[in-house]
């Protein structure tokens, strides 16, 4: 039996900026180094964080007043549609550069850093397809339990939807 020749030239590294995501970046770097592949870094901002997120930030009465006054304007401001995400992009670029400097024996090229809005799993899969990536690398929090049954994790949805391999990393 002849095994297929695996060529990984483009890796999509999806990050939610968590500790798990930082840990999973080491796998993306290692594979990029091994296969001489480029890395595209992607951070997805959910289009609407949900009522629970907002009411954790401000009290319910204030939120109701904002909704009643200018719902669509408040929604756009709260979810960041009017921001250009320059700060997050700069942080991710600096992070990539620092890792590249610190990992002297492992070199990699960051093809681009993307900050996109939308449903994370869908945007990750869509971006991998558009950028012709050969592999998606991402972390998972592994909370499990009833939360995953009800809403599912982003990693689970990416694995189900992706037509290319997905490497999902948990913190040790």
- 70 or 9: which carries more pLDDT confidence? 9
Report the distance separating Cα 40 and Cα 126, nearest Å: 13
What's the pLDDT band for 96 if we cut at 50, 70, 90? confident
Taking 90 as the threshold, does the pLDDT of residue 130 lie above it?
A: yes
Whether the predicted pLDDT of 93 surpasses 90: no
Q: Mean per-residue pLDDT for 65-75?
A: 57
CB 112 within 8 A of CB 39: no
**Mind listing the domains of the chain with CATH numbers?**
10-46+84-170 (3.40.50.620), 48-82 (no CATH)
Nearest of 118, 125, 107, 117 to residue 164 by alpha carbon: 125
Q: How far is CA 153 from CA 23, 36, 143, 147, 165, in A?
A: 18, 30, 9, 8, 17
- Mean of the per-residue pLDDT values for the chain? 79
pLDDT in tens, 104-125: 676 778 889 998 888 899 999 9
> Whole-model pTM?
0.72
Higher-pLDDT residue of 99, 109: 109
Higher-confidence position of 61 and 118? 118
pLDDT of residue 22: 83
């Amino acid at each position: 039996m002849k095994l297929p020749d695996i060529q990984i030239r483009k890796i999509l590294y999806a990050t939610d900026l968590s500790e798990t995501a930082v840990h999973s970046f080491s796998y993306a770097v290692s594979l990029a180094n091994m296969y001489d592949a480029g890395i595209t870094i992607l951070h997805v901002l959910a289009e609407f964080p949900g009522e629970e997120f907002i009411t954790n930030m401000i009290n319910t009465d204030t939120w109701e007043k904002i909704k009643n006054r200018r719902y669509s304007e408040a929604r756009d401001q709260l979810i960041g549609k009017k921001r250009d995400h320059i700060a997050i992009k700069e942080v991710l670029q600096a992070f990539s550069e620092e890792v590249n400097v610190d990992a002297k024996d492992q070199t990699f090229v960051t093809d681009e850093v993307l900050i996109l809005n939308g449903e994370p799993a869908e945007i990750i899969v869509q971006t991998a397809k558009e950028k012709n990536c050969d592999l998606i690398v991402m972390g998972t929090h592994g909370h499990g339990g009833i939360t995953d049954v009800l809403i599912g994790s982003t990693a689970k949805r990416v694995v189900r939807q992706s037509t290319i391999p997905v490497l999902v990393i948990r913190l040790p």
